[in-house]
Structure formats: C-alpha cells, structure tokens
Amino acid sequence: MIDPQQIEQERPYLLRYALAQLRERDAAEEAVQETLLAALESQGSFSGKSTVRTWLTSILRFKLIDGLRRKGKEKLFESLEDEADDGDFDGLFAQDGHWREPVRAWSGPESQLVSKQFWEVFEACSKVMPRRTAMVFAMREVMGMEIAEICNNLEISATNCSVLLYRARMTLRECFSTRWSREGER
C-alpha cells in the first residue's frame, strides 16, 4: 500500500505536467484530481517497480489522451495561417540557406539537462509559441502520440502537423541553446 500522503505530494508535479499539455488551469486541476482519485482507488496495481511519480504520470497521461480523444472534433483553434510558415527562423540561416552561425554541440552535461530542465524550458518557451504548436509538440513528443491521431484530433493535415512540429522543435532548441549560452557566460 502507498501512503496517500505520498500520492498527494506529487500533485504540484502532476499539475505542472497537465498545465503544459492543456494550458487551461481548470482543466488541468480537474485532470490531476481525477488522476489522484484513480490512483487511490487502484493502489493495488502499483507494483513498486517504478517510482510513485512515474506511476501517477502514466495514469495522468492516459487521462489526458482520453480527454483529447473525447474532445475530438471540437473546434479548438482558429486558422492555421499564422502558424504555417517558418519565417521566424530566417535569422538562423543566411541567404543561401546555410546556417548563419556554427551549431554548437550540446555536450554531455547538457544532454542530461534536457530532461531535467524540460518542463521549465517548455513552459517558458510555450509563452512565445502559438498554442497549437506547443500542443502538437506535447502530443507528439511528451505523450508519444502517433501523427495520424494528432491530425485527427486537431483536424489538421499531416503536412500542417509536420510544419508545426518543425516550428516547435526549432523554437525549443533555440530556447535551450539561449539558456545554456547565458549560463555559460556567468
């Protein structure tokens, strides 16, 4: 049996996780509440092979994916126009299409930091990314959903999905690089 206190103390982490996907506080709190209740009811299924956090996160992830499926065809967003071009990255490339600046390697410690600092950077970066772009990235890379399912849920074409993922990856990569170059200057 897990101490209910141990489950409750993961609430802030789970809320952060849900907020990053849903970006609506009420919906995130509801999903976390449902997760904690489900966990308390099914403690017997916790084998102890993973941490309590990992177990709770997997319950929450299924709830979020279920929620997205239920929303299905609901009109979540306006036109794709503003999100479908990648002009924001003009500054990274020269006229001939080659990198303007050398691409710096993410060294050993930095490669470890991507998962440690992921939520912090993702939250900060989400503020400059259109909502749908951040959501497509979270569905694909955080929740591991297949492209066809994402397209179906958000009613976008595979081509649009690919463009949004490219934009999200480019933006997040810049956020991590900027953060580390700042830290390196200190």
Question: Given the rule CB under 8 A, which residues bind other proteins?
Answer: 13, 17, 51, 53-54, 56-58, 61, 86, 89, 93, 96-99, 102-106, 111, 114-116, 118-119, 122, 137, 140-144, 147, 158, 161-162, 165-166, 169-170, 172-173, 176-177
Shortest reach from residue 94's CB to other proteins, in Å? 9
Closest CA to 58 of 16, 17, 115: 17
Which amino acid is residue 117, in one-letter code?
Answer: Q
Using an 8 Å Cβ cutoff, are 38 and 74 in contact? no
Shortest reach from residue 116's CB to other proteins, in Å? 6
Shortest reach from residue 75's CB to other proteins, in Å? 24
Token digits for 132? Answer: 């749908």
Shortest reach from residue 61's CB to other proteins, in Å? 7
DSSP-based three-state secondary structure for 114: helix
Q: Which is nearer to other proteins, 75 or 116 (CB)?
A: 116
Shortest reach from residue 4's CB to other proteins, in Å? 18
Which amino acid is residue 100, in one-letter code?
Answer: R
Q: Which is nearer to other proteins, 75 or 101 (CB)?
A: 101
> Cα(104)–Cα(183) distance, rounded to whole angstroms?
14
Please provide residue 93's backbone torsions phi and psi, each rounded to the nearest 5 degrees. Answer: -120, 145
DSSP-based three-state secondary structure for 7: helix
Q: Which is nearer to other proteins, 2 or 147 (CB)?
A: 147
Q: Which is nearer to other proteins, 75 or 103 (CB)?
A: 103
Using an 8 Å Cβ cutoff, are 64 and 18 in contact? yes
Q: Which is nearer to other proteins, 43 or 54 (CB)?
A: 54
